[in-house]
Amino acid sequence: MIRFFSSVTALALTASPIMAQEIVVTVTGAEGSAGTIGCRLFAGPRNFPNGRATAGEQSAARGPDGEACRFKNLAPGTYALVVAALPEGQEEVTRDILGRPKQPWGVSNNVRPAMRAPRFQEAAFQVTAGRVTRLTIKLSR
């Protein structure tokens, strides 16, 4: 009987939402943009910021409270996030001749270097075990 109780308790603890690492992303600056918000999560500098995400991608309508993306069941560690307002039916950011995004965009830590793309280390943040990480990303052109 004790063995069964211990197994059930262990199962309940691992499934508990308080134990899951989660990132909740809210955006500002996309109020006038039609379409969806695209979020790409990176677990390291590979592909950041213009390539395919290494830890997850989402595209969704922005919620009334500004919530755009929610990444669940993540391992604790260092991540960086790229967010963009995407026109209806589009999955990629359109770029000008210099490679700058035409749509409103932003990265975690709201880093915006003037003459180059943000680096992973500048946008990096920590996801801690048992905590929900809440980020607010300001989108602009």
Distance in angstroms (rounded) separating the CA atoms of residues 54 and 127: 15
Mean pLDDT rounded to a whole number for the chain:
83
pLDDT in tens, 50-69: 889 999 999 888 777 777 89
Task: Say whether pTM exceeds 0.85.
Answer: no
- What are the pLDDT digits (tens) for 115-141? 899 999 999 999 999 899 999 999 988
pLDDT, residue 91, reads 78
Amino acid at site 126: Q
Reading phi first (left if > 0) and then psi (alpha if -120 to 50, else beta), residue 89 is in: left
End-to-end CA distance of the chain: 62
